[in-house]
Chains A and B, each alone.
Chain A
Amino acid sequence: GAVVSQHPSRVICKSGTSVKIECRSLDFQATTMFWYRQFPKKSLMLMATSNEGSKATYEQGVEKDKFLINHASLTLSTLTVTSAHPEDSSFYICSARDYRAPGMNTGELFFGEGSRLTVL
C-alpha cells in the first residue's frame, strides 16, 4: 500500500522560532497532500490542501502567513510554522492521495505518522 512518511515525529522549539515539518510519499506520486491539525479533544481540522507546483489552498480561519506550505515535488510537501507560539503546539498530520490508484477519486487517503510540536 501507499506509504507516507512524516518528519520529525517530535519537535520542541522556543517561542518565536520557525519549524519545518516534511511529508513524503515514499512509493507513489502525490499531486495533492493535505495537512491536518489535531487538537487535544481528538478532532481533526483540515488546515490546507497542498498542490504540487502551485499555491496551497487554505481552509477558512487558517493563517497563510503563519502556516507556510510548499509542495515542490510530487513526493514532498512541507509545512513551516513561522514565529511559533505556545498556542501552535499541537499534533500535525499530513495525508496524500495516490492519483494513480483505483480509489483516487473516492476520497481514500494515506496518512503520515504525525508530528508533535511543542512550543515553549
Chain B
Amino acid sequence: AQSVAQPEDQVNVAEGNPLTVKCTYSVSGNPYLFWYVQYPNRGLQFLLKYITGDNLVKGSYGFEAEFNKSQTSFHLKKPSALVSDSALYFCAVRDSSGGSYIPTFGRGTSLIVHP
C-alpha cells in the first residue's frame, strides 16, 4: 500500500525568505515521488520528481526537493520565496513494487507568500 501525508494545511512565508513544504510517504518498495503545483482554477503542473539517483532533485521555478529515505520524507524547498509562488502544492507517491501505476496524492498545502 502507498500513502502520502502533507501535515501542513497552509504555510506562510515572507517574500525573500526560504520556504519548505513538507511531505512524508509510506510505501512497501521504493518510492517514486512527485511535486505538483496548482494555481487558482487551473490544473496541476509538474514541478519535479524523484525516481532514483541523487537525493536532491531540482525542478521548475527554482524549486528543489530532498529525498530522505530514513525519514521517509520528500520536502519541497526554495531558497527565496516569491509572491508568485503562492499556490496549492501537492505531493504524490507511487510504490515501485505496487501493482497499480496510479500515484496517491496528498491533500495539498496552500503556500502563501507575503510581500
Residues of A within 8 A of B (CB): 1, 4, 6, 9, 34, 42-44, 46, 49, 91, 93, 95, 97, 103-114, 116
With CB as the reference atom, state the residue of chain A lying closest to B108: A42
A-B contact count (CB 8 A): 60
B63-98 interface mask toward A, CB cutoff 8 Å, 1 = contact, 0 = none? Answer: 000000000000000000000000010101110100
Bound: A97/B43 CA distance, A: 15
Whether B32 pairs with A113 at a CB distance below 8 angstroms is no
**What secondary structure prevails in chain A residues at the interface with B?**
loop
Partner of B51, one of A44, A93, A103: A103
A-B contact pairs, 24 of them (CB 8 A): A1-B46, A4-B43, A6-B43, A34-B102, A42-B88, A42-B107, A42-B110, A43-B108, A44-B90, A44-B105, A49-B102, A103-B51, A106-B32, A106-B51, A106-B94, A107-B34, A107-B92, A108-B34, A108-B46, A109-B46, A111-B44, A113-B42, A114-B41, A114-B43
Which A residues are in CB contact (< 8 Å) with B49? 103, 106, 108
